[in-house]
A and B are shown apart, each in its own frame.
Chain A
């Protein structure tokens, strides 16, 4: 019987494991990917300070610490079911079952697909898949591609592909259909773009300051958006052009692009074909919560957090005894926040287990504060109202506990 089994070896799971090992708990970390690090492994971007955030280096720092404390991390292990036992939980995986008193779910986020006609052709991939192939596996995804979907994640990853020498024609919106509502409206997309202006210190800052924060300025910017797109790092970003279809017989051969009005409606007669051999679709992220659902955690739907999220406290505990959550499963945020949440979750688990250690409570409180300051300082913010979402979630937890 383990003191704690952690599912997910991303920044949240690894930091939690380190905190638990510092307090000498009996810990096991499981991850289904062949390597530890989670989504950190693919990350590479420049901070406004000019410094680079290199996910592989950040992963190595965490792994060195984990090794120092003799942490048991097993990769290639996929958890498919969790059952409640009398005094804990049984985790069923493709490599056998594990029993534990406490459980930390740090399973991260998944990508939303954006269905446009032809999206099931070989050569179409999610933007995250392109990131993993490029930065983790070092495989060139194709000769020339296009990005469908303009948001924080796709802008960051498009830049990574460019740095790796992969040619991109441009970024554009998906054409409007019932499955792409949020992603196909130029005004909504522009609101999001202004928030990522700081991502690209030189090129994109100009973009951001041009369109400022006032909503009437943004409306005007959408209305008079240049036909050739606005260039970021030399690559055109189109929010008044959309991809109508992805074409090809056995694989991607081209896309059909058209101009759209400020409401996202197609302007007839503006269709053009663009030759590409791969397409990255980017529909944003949502918390990967299946395991929390399977053990019966109650949920809340909160758009600010990216979708359905298991109810949890600011100490990262759920209403189920011994079940904790940390990282993107609790809401979509950057890797630094996930890392701070992981440390907090690890300390909470240790504090609940080793009740006699009074100073542990103080560590937990400090860690709660660190999560808040990390959030406030975050370079990448996926949702504008994240802090409101966090407050609402704390209220939901208190309500659930008292009822």
Chain B
């Protein structure tokens, strides 16, 4: 069961999350930053609730009012040319 993948973009398993939480005795947020769970290509859209549920079980932290890991742009995958500004404005 521990080799169950939780975050598929970054291939983080349940065991990775448990190990990190126990080794560093850290917050849910720090577990995410250390394992990169929820920080892959999909921006956490697929696994965010699952990652949060696992972290709540593993660290005992209840979800607070702030989104557990700050959402940063771009919230969708974009090409470098789009980011580079060769785009139109309206």
Contact = CB atoms under 8 A, between A and B. Distances in A.
B87 A179 contact: no
Interface string A174-201: 0001111110000000000000000000
Given A80-B76, A119-B5, A179-B54, A113 B46 contact: yes
Contact of B14 (A97, A99, A177, A300): A177
Contacts of A177: 1, 4, 14
A169 B66 CA distance: 41
A205 interface: no
Interface stretch (A43-51, A287-295, A328-336): A287-295
Contacts, number: 107
A283 B90 contact: no
A78 B65 contact: no
Central interface residue in A177, A179, A289, A301, by most chain B CB within 10 Å: A179
A82 B73 CA distance: 8
B49 A96 contact: no
A179 B71 contact: no
Interface string B18-61: 00000000000000000000000001011111100110011000
A299 B67 contact: yes
Nearest to B73: A81
**What is the interface of chain A mostly: helix, strand, loop, or mixed?**
mixed
A69 interface: no
Contacts of A94: 76, 78-79, 82
A290 B4 contact: no
B72 A115 contact: no
Interface in A85-124: 92, 94-99, 110, 112-117, 119-120
Interface residues of A, number: 44
Contact of B6 (A2, A179, A181, A288): A179
A307 interface: yes
Contacts of A112: 49-50
Given A97-B87, A177-B14, A294 B49 contact: no
B84 interface: no
A185 to B, nearest CB: 13
Contacts of A95: 87-88
Given A80-B75, A116-B4, A308 B67 contact: yes
A286 B46 CA distance: 11
Contact of A291 (B1, B75, B79, B82): B75
Contact of A115 (B6, B64, B65, B74): B6
A117 B1 CA distance: 7
Contacts of B89: 96-99
Contact of B57 (A99, A181, A294): A181
A99 B88 CA distance: 11
Given A113-B46, A113-B47, A294-B72, A96 B4 contact: no
Interface in A47-83: 78-82
Nearest to A178: B57
Given A28-B90, A290-B43, 13 more contacts: A2-B90, A79-B76, A80-B73, A80-B76, A81-B73, A94-B79, A114-B50, A117-B1, A179-B50, A182-B53, A291-B75, A294-B75, A299-B66
28 contacts: A32-B76, A80-B73, A80-B74, A80-B75, A80-B76, A82-B73, A94-B78, A97-B88, A98-B90, A99-B89, A113-B46, A113-B50, A115-B6, A115-B14, A117-B1, A117-B4, A177-B1, A177-B14, A178-B57, A179-B50, A181-B57, A182-B53, A283-B49, A289-B71, A293-B67, A294-B71, A300-B65, A301-B64
Interface of B: 1, 3-6, 8, 14, 43, 45-50, 53-54, 57-58, 63-67, 70-76, 78-79, 82, 87-90
* Chain A to chain B: the 7 pairs with minimum beta-carbon distance, closest first: A81-B73, A80-B74, A293-B71, A112-B49, A178-B57, A96-B88, A290-B75
